[in-house]
Amino acid sequence: MRYLPAPELTLFCQQLFHAAGLSLDDAQLLADSVIGSSLAGHDSHGIMLVGRYVKEIRGGEIEKECRLTFDKEFPSTATINANNSQGHVASQRVTQLAIDKALKNGVSTVTVHNLGHLGRLGTYVEMAAMQDCVAIATINNHGGATWMAPFGGTERRLPPNPLAVGAPTGGEFPLVLDMSASNVAVGKCIVAQAKGESIPIDWILDPAGNPTTDPSLLIGPPAGSLIPLGGQVAGHKGYALAFMMDILGGALSRAGCSHTTDYVSQNGFFLTVIKIENFVALADFHKEAQQLIDWCKSSPKVDDSRDILAPGEFEYLTRLERIADGLPVPESVCESYRQMAEELGVENILEL
């Protein structure tokens, strides 16, 4: 394991993405987003995806230029075709559009289709929270890339469509919920497999529908499936959540709802942004948010060694730690970065 400084790693990734074909500005947006996800502790949506994105850009699997066109637009809504643009880049621009509409009109909802993989969903609701708005977002996988079995089933039928909610607090960090509708995100199983680690028994089912601790059985072949949030007893909750998020991310965005197990490297994106001051004074909202945080933290602890955290606080604390100590990057990932730099003629500033 190598511990790499975030500023240098961000610059290195920007150079990789630029050499692969993105404009310098778009490469910076993508690098900031990817490394930002890892700073927040979500490597499955951060450093582990650099190679995938370079491959997609170089291979023409996504468009090198971000181009957004409007299927429909009204003062507070829009349906947008991202024309297979890089997901992080397009989603940041779409999110800012939604924020601008909300700040002008009070509430906005924007949906997007033909959008490349957008990474960590919490990034976008956090953008809104940092501009004193509340945001609610979800995605689907554009009708495909189904990883999760329905409750009571053994074969993949749905993605673990995530739900993200962001809100400002006026304090050190915004509140951010970013949760999968499965017990775990696919990327965390991939990370565990890369590290040669076993996984908890309630994360995935093997191809026969049995719980397993072997992360390789998710990918196959033959393929296993993710267990819905709630597990073997209460998985109907995660299944229903994924189902309804598929409606918002698929049917409302023109991306289409899940219908195939074929791999699809695109997202349908749904985002609603709310201007707080159209409902209550911002200071009052901050006061209520802080009061709720304090109230929950006042509970006696089951284990004194584990703090009670507010949503988004783990990411805040992890970010502080990783800024100070560097990002932990597995040797196998460092080697893949070194090879990409050599192939693309990028200076190996990290001495990988």
> pLDDT tens digits for 200-242?
999 999 999 999 999 999 988 899 999 999 998 999 999 999 9
User: Could you check whether the bond before residue 222 is cis, i.e. omega within 30 degrees of 0?
Assistant: yes
Nearest to 190 by CA among 45, 34, 352: 45
Q: CA–CA separation, 273 vs 136, rounded Å?
A: 7
In a domain, residue 90? The reply is: no
User: Tell me, what CATH number does 205's domain have?
Assistant: 3.30.60.50
Q: Please, which pLDDT band fits residue 15 given cuts at 50, 70 and 90? A: very high
Q: What percent of the chain has pLDDT over 90?
A: 90
Amino acid at 18: H
245: number of Cβ within 10 Å: 23
What sign for the dihedral angle of Cα 325, 331, 335, 336? negative
How many domains does one find in the chain? 1
In a domain, residue 136? The reply is: no
Does pLDDT of 265 surpass 90?
A: no
177: number of Cβ within 10 Å: 16
Nearest to 149 by CA among 60, 91, 88, 210: 210
Mean pLDDT, rounded, for 159-165: 95
Q: What is the mean pLDDT of the chain?
A: 96
Does pLDDT of 262 surpass 90?
A: no
In a domain, residue 149? The reply is: no
Domain region containing 204: 184-226
Task: Determine the straight-line distance between the first and last CA of the chain, rounded to whole angstroms.
Answer: 12
Does pLDDT of 165 surpass 90?
A: yes
Q: Model's pTM, two decimal places?
A: 0.94
Q: Please, which pLDDT band fits residue 185 given cuts at 50, 70 and 90? A: confident
In a domain, residue 92? The reply is: no
Run of H or E including 59: none
Q: Please, which pLDDT band fits residue 156 given cuts at 50, 70 and 90? A: very high
Q: Please, which pLDDT band fits residue 341 given cuts at 50, 70 and 90? A: very high
In a domain, residue 39? The reply is: no
In a domain, residue 215? The reply is: yes
Does pLDDT of 109 surpass 90?
A: yes
Q: CA–CA separation, 61 vs 12, rounded Å?
A: 22
Both structure tokens of 165: 């909610």
Q: CA–CA separation, 31 vs 46, rounded Å?
A: 9
In a domain, residue 232? The reply is: no
Pick left, alpha or beta for residue 18 (phi over 0 → left; psi -120 to 50 → alpha; otherwise beta): alpha
Q: CA–CA separation, 116 vs 56, rounded Å?
A: 9
Contact 89, 30 (CB under 8 A): yes
308: number of Cβ within 10 Å: 13
Contact 116, 265 (CB under 8 A): yes
253: number of Cβ within 10 Å: 29
Point out which residues pair with 266 in neighbouring strands. Answer: 116
Q: Angle, to 10 degrees, between the axis of helix 122-129 and the axis of helix 87-105?
A: 30
Both structure tokens of 252: 């409302």
Q: CA–CA separation, 82 vs 63, rounded Å?
A: 10
Q: CA–CA separation, 196 vs 24, rounded Å?
A: 36
Mean pLDDT, rounded, for 174-195: 90
In a domain, residue 217? The reply is: yes
